[in-house]
């Protein structure tokens, strides 16, 4: 069997299932709901300057701790800054870091896990031993420890999350590759004389990346929670930049009189987590083998 024939046969096997899956996505209520929630949050963050006339860091002490009004829909904080404005700009920071912090672990972990699962041997043993070491600790413990060592700031958060999160993707991809490399289309590709690189990139990769993508949705939730936790502990984004964790911390001392200041950013975290969780569940259902049959 020639290389061209193998590639053609492989694409033919995958095309019908993929087409059915793409056509039916809008019937998946969970997926659509997640897309709507996450889409609205992203739009609110991107167009924050158009949605509010206030500066998120400009202080106005004469209007500090104002109750909700037509001028300030969610009131003002202890420095007189509009709470809604800081909420929208805080979404910019938390969502940006949450999404970008997934990229490096996703790429590094997926590549290492795929190579370990495909080739096995000493490399597989080495990668899995490192993965086991990281899995011995809860996610937040090493992240907080690394940010404490590196210092507060956005770059430290990226490095800390990347250093910890890649192991989950490596474990997922390794498991997927252990199964995929025994499939008929992979065996046929090998018999056709294809290189390992082409088999991994062209044939195995598109079929196994779905699980890593699904996990990325929940990983973004964990990243956002880590960002908010670091902000609450004073280890996150330095003030006066608007960020949900620091907003919760600042509003906590006024919880009995101005409860919206701490509650609203907390609800924003909950809604964001809900949207991403629904999106992940919807993708999981959409990309499941049973649906693709």
Of the listed ranges 217-231, 235-249, 275-289, the one predicted with least confidence: 275-289
When the pLDDT of each residue in the chain is averaged and rounded to a whole number, the result is 86
The pLDDT assigned to 269 comes to: 94
Condensed to tens digits (0 to 9), the pLDDT of residues 152-204 reads: 888 899 999 999 999 999 999 999 988 888 888 788 877 777 887 888 888 78
Distance of CA 74 to the CA centre of its chain: 28
Per-residue HEC secondary structure of the chain comes to CCHHHHHHHHHHHHHHHHHHHHHCHHHCHHHHHHHHHHHHHHHHHHCHHHHCCCCCCCCCHHHCCCCCCCCCCCCECCCCCEHHHHHHHHHHHHHHHHHHHHHHHHHHHHHHHHHHHHHCHHHHHHHHHHHHHHHCCCCHHHHHHHHHHHCCCHHHHHHHHHHHHHHHHHHHHHHHHHHHCCCHHHHHHHHCCCCHHHHHHHHHHHHHHHHHHHHHHHHHHHHHHHHHHHHHCCCCCCCCCCCHHHHHHHHHCCCCCCCHHHHHHHHHHHHHHHHHHHHHHHHHHHCCHHHHC
Measured in residues, the chain has a length of 293
Q: Is the pLDDT of residue 287 over 80?
A: no
What does the pLDDT average to over 1-21? 49
Residue 12's pLDDT is what? 47
Q: Write the pLDDT tens digit of every residue in 125-151.
A: 999 999 999 888 888 889 999 998 988
Calpha distance 132→129 (Å, rounded): 5
Portion of the chain with pLDDT greater than 70, in percent:
89
Look at residue 22 in the predicted model and tell me its pLDDT: 53
33 pLDDT exceeds 90?
A: yes
What average pLDDT does this structure show over 221-236?
Answer: 90
Per-residue pLDDT, averaged over 33-52, amounts to 94
| Model pLDDT for residues 82-116, shown as the tens digit of each residue | 999 999 999 999 999 999 999 999 999 999 999 99
Q: How far is CA 291 from CA 24, 128, 134, 204, 283, in A?
A: 9, 31, 34, 19, 11
Q: Are 235 and 283 in contact (CB under 8 A)?
A: no
Residue 103 has a pLDDT of: 92
pLDDT of residue 2: 52
């Amino acid at each position: 069997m020639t290389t061209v024939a193998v590639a053609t046969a492989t694409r033919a096997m995958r095309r019908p299932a993929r087409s059915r899956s793409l056509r039916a996505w809008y019937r998946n209520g969970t997926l659509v709901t997640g897309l709507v929630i996450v889409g609205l949050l992203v739009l609110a963050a991107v167009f924050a300057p158009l949605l509010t006339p206030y500066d998120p860091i400009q202080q106005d002490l004469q209007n500090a701790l104002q109750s909700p009004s037509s001028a300030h829909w969610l009131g003002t904080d202890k420095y007189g800054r509009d709470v809604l404005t800081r909420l929208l700009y805080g979404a910019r920071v938390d969502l940006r870091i949450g999404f970008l912090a997934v990229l490096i672990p996703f790429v590094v972990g997926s590549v290492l896990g795929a190579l370990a699962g495909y080739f096995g041997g000493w490399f597989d043993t080495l990668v899995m031993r490192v993965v086991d070491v990281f899995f011995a600790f809860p996610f937040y413990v090493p992240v907080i420890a690394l940010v404490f060592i590196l210092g507060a700031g956005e770059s430290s958060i990226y490095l800390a999350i990347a250093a910890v999160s890649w192991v989950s993707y490596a474990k997922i991809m390794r498991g997927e590759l252990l199964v995929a490399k025994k499939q008929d289309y992979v065996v046929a590709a090998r018999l056709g004389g294809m290189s390992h690189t082409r088999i991994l990139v062209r044939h195995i990769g598109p079929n196994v990346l779905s699980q890593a993508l699904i996990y990325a949705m929940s990983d973004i939730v964990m990243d956002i929670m880590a960002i908010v936790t670091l902000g609450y502990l004073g280890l996150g984004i330095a003030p006066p930049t608007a960020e949900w964790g620091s907003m919760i911390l600042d509003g906590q001392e006024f919880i009995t009189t101005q409860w919206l200041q701490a509650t609203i950013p907390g609800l924003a975290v909950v809604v964001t987590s809900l949207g991403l969780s629904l999106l992940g569940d919807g993708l999981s259902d959409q990309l499941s083998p049973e649906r693709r049959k």
